[in-house]
Amino acid sequence: MPMTSRHDQAAGLRQMFAGACARFVPVVSNPHVACGGVLLERLSTAFAERGARVLVVDAGERAGAPGEMAMIDLSQCVERLSPQVAYLAARGLAIRFVDAGGSTRAFLERAAEAAPGCDVFIVHAPASELCRMFAHGRRAESLVGADLPCPIVVADDRPPSVTHAYASMKLLAQRAGLVVSELLLGAAPHSPRAERIAAKLAGCADNFFAGVLRDWAWIDPAGDPCDAPGSDLRRLVAARFENHAAIGANARPAASRAVAWAVQ
């Protein structure tokens, strides 16, 4: 039996749920960020504000272990948090779906099957795990820029978290070819370091591995969770919908149904 190539893996990932509207949003977990749960909550709220039904697939270092039914009926492990947001504890679960080529994209398929009513899947996991789920390879000629996942890294205004965010961006670029990222930065509204951190991450990524920090959002971790998302977070989320629509509009006729959804 021939080995599955990286090109074939990319094709399979793009064609998953052809014709559906699912958006997969890779979010890199950061164990040095104390407010990581708040950042995930604000991100899911911003998607829900636009009418999306969201499943947070939490495979981060601090996530709970998956339920005992995970390998039998994953839908039984999905917890409904609100009418529009659901949660799946999935620490260590993705690797149980690894294939001979090292890809765990089958886990994304299983997560989408477990929550068929959702159209946005926030996949929160370490960078190494996201590489296995979303890697496409730099030489996948059929991929265009809008097809590629755009991971979101998280940090706060303390050096260890920023170092980890930078290392994650570099790993995603070098191992998975995902050179474009975005940033959720948890910091007090008047933090003197927040803007410098975003600028430093963007500059280091550009200089050392040709990476791009496409956009970033500043989130107050002590803010009222009932407050509306800020304009920068709304802009970051809106871009996901705009890119998704552009893929469907610009797709070649033979492939239009295969890329009617986007892994962004």
Task: For 26-73, write each residue's pLDDT tens digit.
Answer: 999 999 999 999 999 999 999 999 999 999 999 999 999 999 999 999
DSSP three-state, residue 107? helix
- In this prediction, residue 257 has a pLDDT band, given cuts at 50, 70 and 90, of very low
Distance, CA of 144 to CA of 180 (rounded, Å):
13
Q: Are strands 23-28 and 120-125 parallel, antiparallel or unpaired?
A: parallel
Does the pLDDT value for residue 121 go beyond 80?
Answer: yes
- In this prediction, residue 10 has a pLDDT band, given cuts at 50, 70 and 90, of very low
Whether 118 contacts 83, CB under 8 Å:
no
The reported pLDDT for the residue numbered 236 is: 95
Give the residue from 123, 137, 200 showing the smallest Cα distance to 165.
200
Query: Between the CA of residue 226 and those of 38, 45, 59, 156, 220, what are the distances in Å?
Result: 12, 9, 25, 21, 13
Does the pLDDT value for residue 84 go beyond 50?
Answer: yes
The residues, ordered by sequence, that sit 6+ positions from 236 with a Cβ below 8 Å of its Cβ are 46, 152, 182, 215, 216, 217
Higher pLDDT: 256 or 45? It is 45
* CATH superfamily ID and name for 21-248: P-loop containing nucleotide triphosphate hydrolases (3.40.50.300)
Give the residue from 77, 145, 134 showing the smallest Cα distance to 109.
134
DSSP three-state, residue 73? coil
The reported pLDDT for the residue numbered 240 is: 87
Q: Which residue type, as a one-letter code, is found at position 171? A: L
Q: Where are the domains of the chain?
A: 21-248
Mean pLDDT across the chain? 84
